[in-house]
Structure 1
Amino acid sequence: MRAALFLLAAVSSKALSLRAAPTPRRCATRLHATVEDDVDLCEVLNASDEEFRKLGCAGPRIRLIAEAREARQGRDEKRRGAVLSHVEALEKENPTPKPNESPLLSGRWRLVFTTSESILGTRRMRPFRPRRRILQDINAGKLTAKNEEWVLGGLLRNSVRAKLEPRDDGATVDVIFKRFGIGWLKLPAPKSARGVLTTTYLDDEMRISRGDRGNVFILVKEGPSKI
């Protein structure tokens, strides 16, 4: 149930047109040796990767994504500090101070980094650890959200649906979980299943949120919401 708290990292909506990616090139240099420099990361990373095609190949956002990848979505605890330093720098440049009031919040988001052990499933038995593709749909107009993860090698889908209640600060939402899904089994959520999330950075393609348990979530937009 605690894993459901990911559910909103504020829980974005036009499909982005992607320019044709250049021929992928790789470099033996480790990512953390390059992300500090304002370089064209497509020169040292696989330029066909979706995150880099959408976010461009230079600047603070792409350096953050590079560090998130080096941290293996947050699984490498030793690399988390480097990611969080980039998060704090980017939060200071947040272009959307009231994300709850922005149309950018709605959409289908994919998790690229989190400090939440429950979301990453690090303490679960290996077959039940989620695959890297963890999704979150938000419909700001309907104040609804949905999380999805795949386990058992992608054979079983787990999900959680929630209702959102925005607070007056324009950035924070109370998350009231309504239903949990384990494959085809649907279960009502207990009344105690609640959380709080604040969006600290939001633009057309990236969202950063912080939960009431101190966890950080970084997501990139895949397209319009499916709910």
Structure 2
Amino acid sequence: MAFRVYTTNLGFQWNPTPTFSPIFKTRNLRYKSPKLFESSSSIRRNVTVNGSNVVDEQQQVSFNEQENKLIEALIGIQGRGRSASPQQLSDVDRAVQVLEGFEGVPEPTSSSLIEGRWQLMFTTRPQTASPIQRTFVGVDFFSVFQEVYLRTNDPRVSNIIKFSDAIGELKVEAAASIKDGKRILFQFDRAAFSFKFLPFKVPYPVPFRLLGDEAKGWLDTTYLSPSGDLRISRGNKGTTFVLQKKTVPRQRLISAISTGTGVREPYSLLWQAIDEFISFHQNPSRDETELQEGEWQMIWSSQVETDSWIENAANGLMGKQVVKENGQIKFLVDIFLGLRFSMIGKFVKSGKNLYELTMDDAVILGGPFGYPIEMESKFNLELLYSDDKIRITRGYNNIVFVHLRTDGSSKK
């Protein structure tokens, strides 16, 4: 037995009408950004869909070629390395080793460029990682920073977990000293929560004095960029850290989405990151690119919540998209308990950066079995931006999507 569903970009009709409850909720926004949600024709006049601006955006932040390769390897890695695939870890490790053999700032601990607040972008996760690192560092919703101040009367290295602008942060401080041109010695001695809703700090309940040598450690800076914007460090517990003072637009976009910063505020950091990214790649002189094949996981959409998850799934508003070179596209959504929704269709190029999608082969999969669903969905897909790692599109009902590539394939 199958039921019929017909969807278009104008509405959604059931025949008959089974009852489904929403199982998934994607990140959704109820407000419209004044730039991003202009009419489709307006966007097409201003936005170029071309990944060749990737190098341009990194050069504007003063990264050299080898640093760009490391940043490129970091794009799309979730949990600062916690959820990285073997291929992603290999790419990062290779780029790190190249930079460590590259000519950076000599004796970085003697340079003023090492001072300041650094954002943690990636870390390896050995079994010896600290409880704080295991608990907070792999969670994208939190921002993680390290402050280094060595040229004061009280030299310190501090690790900071920023929960959000509204909640506050946890700061773990260590007294620091310079051993040589690369190594900083430190000993943790205090920590406290700073909550926005409290006028005082709340001590973090760790008896550092009783920990003895467990509270001590060292940190080697194995690469410091001449610009002072990128640093690679290795700790005494075998952990490798990649930190940046400045980030490129793609990193800011993914970070804003991951943290959900200001999801419902129209002028929030999230909206600013998306608008900045789209505006940065406006260049009518560049050639258009094709809809790239590969597996693409949706990480954000501007969708307003609907009453049915199957409506979202049929219109590509959730889950993963698998694009094949022969013009075939598949929507995949994990439901629960091993059940998956799959819908296959075709895409045909209809204009510059525009495609017509027809989805008409749907099934709910459970192991080796499938339950067919007679349904059809037709809508236009507009490419706003695409490179090897990120794709931004406008699809069903003018909803804007951000997808990350998950299969690690090279651009064709």
TM category (shorter chain) comes to 0.5 to 0.7
Measured after TM superposition, the shift of residue 133 of structure 1 is 2.2
Considering fraction of residues, name the structure with more helix: 1
What is aligned with 2:54? Answer: 41
User: Structure 1 residues 82, 165: CA separation in 2 closer, same or farther (over 3 Å shift)?
Assistant: same
What is aligned with 2:208? Answer: 189
What is aligned with 2:169? Answer: 157
Deviations 1:84-121 (A, max 9, x none): 11000011113223111111111111111111365897
What is aligned with 1:200? Answer: 222
Question: Which protein has the larger Cα radius of gyration, Structure 1 or Structure 2?
Answer: 2
- Distance in 1, matches of 2:164 and 2:53, equals 37
1:133 to 114, 129, 143: 143
Deviations 1:36-66 (A, max 9, x none): xxx75247xxx4xxx674245x611111011
User: Structure 1 residues 153, 131: CA separation in 2 closer, same or farther (over 3 Å shift)?
Assistant: farther
- Distance in 1, matches of 2:203 and 2:187, equals 16
**Residue aligned with 1:94, SS:** coil
**Residue aligned with 2:61, SS:** helix
Structure 1 counterpart of 2:72, which letter?
Answer: A
Structure 1: where are the runs of 5+ without partners?
1-21, 28-38
- Distance in 2, matches of 1:115 and 1:136, equals 16
1:147 equivalent to 2:159? Answer: yes
**Residue aligned with 1:54, SS:** coil
Deviations 1:104-152 (A, max 9, x none): 1111111111113658978549xx9463521111112022122211348
1:179 equivalent to 2:179? Answer: no
What is aligned with 2:93? Answer: 84
Structure 2: where are the runs of 5+ without partners?
1-45, 195-200, 248-412
What is aligned with 2:124? Answer: 115
- Distance in 2, matches of 1:97 and 1:81, equals 27
- Distance in 2, matches of 1:25 and 1:120, equals 43
- Distance in 1, matches of 2:48 and 2:146, equals 29
1:67 equivalent to 2:77? Answer: no
**Residue aligned with 1:70, SS:** coil
TM-score (norm. length: structure 1): 0.67
User: Structure 1 residues 149, 111: CA separation in 2 closer, same or farther (over 3 Å shift)?
Assistant: same
RMSD between superposed Cα atoms in Å: 3.3
With CA pairs under 8 Å and 6+ residues apart, which has the higher RCO, 1 or 2?
1
- Distance in 2, matches of 1:120 and 1:66, equals 29
Give the count of matched residue pairs.
181
- Distance in 2, matches of 1:40 and 1:130, equals 26
TM-score (norm. length: structure 2): 0.39
Question: Contact between 1:69 and 1:112, CA under 8 Å: does it hold in 2?
Answer: no
Measured after TM superposition, the shift of residue 24 of structure 1 is 7.5
User: Structure 1 residues 144, 213: CA separation in 2 closer, same or farther (over 3 Å shift)?
Assistant: same
